[in-house]
């Protein structure tokens, strides 16, 4: 129960939750969110990108976003692709 649960569209309407995770190329988690089971995946795309910490590496101003983002079809939408 609670605010992070919702009716699951795939489990006969039982309450559930979704874990949204963004990782680097080697599978190391960079950011995660938790939503109700009835939330659409694409709504978490921008919050996940914003939660990624600065990329360390070369001297100078650290990059806020990675160069490339790969995701499954649940996160694909023209509006959000342009924002990324």
Q: Are strands 15-23 and 6-7 parallel, antiparallel or unpaired?
A: antiparallel
Number of neighbours of residue 82 by Cβ within 10 angstroms: 7
Spatial contact of 18 and 37, defined as CB atoms under 8 Å apart: yes
pLDDT tens profile 10-61: 666 677 888 888 888 888 888 898 888 877 888 888 888 888 887 666 777 7
- Total-model pTM: 0.64
Sorted by sequence, the CB contacts under 8 Å of residue 56 that are 6+ apart come out as 62
pLDDT tens profile 64-77: 666 777 777 777 77
Q: Where are the domains of the chain?
A: 6-83
pLDDT number for residue 30? 86
């Amino acid at each position: 129960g609670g605010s992070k649960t919702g009716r699951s569209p795939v489990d006969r309407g039982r309450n559930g939750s979704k874990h949204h995770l963004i990782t680097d190329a080697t599978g190391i988690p960079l950011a995660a969110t938790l939503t109700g089971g009835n939330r659409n995946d694409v709504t978490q795309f921008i919050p996940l990108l914003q939660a990624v910490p600065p990329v360390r590496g070369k001297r100078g101003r650290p990059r806020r976003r990675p160069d490339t983002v790969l995701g499954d079809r649940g996160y694909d939408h023209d509006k959000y692709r342009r924002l990324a």
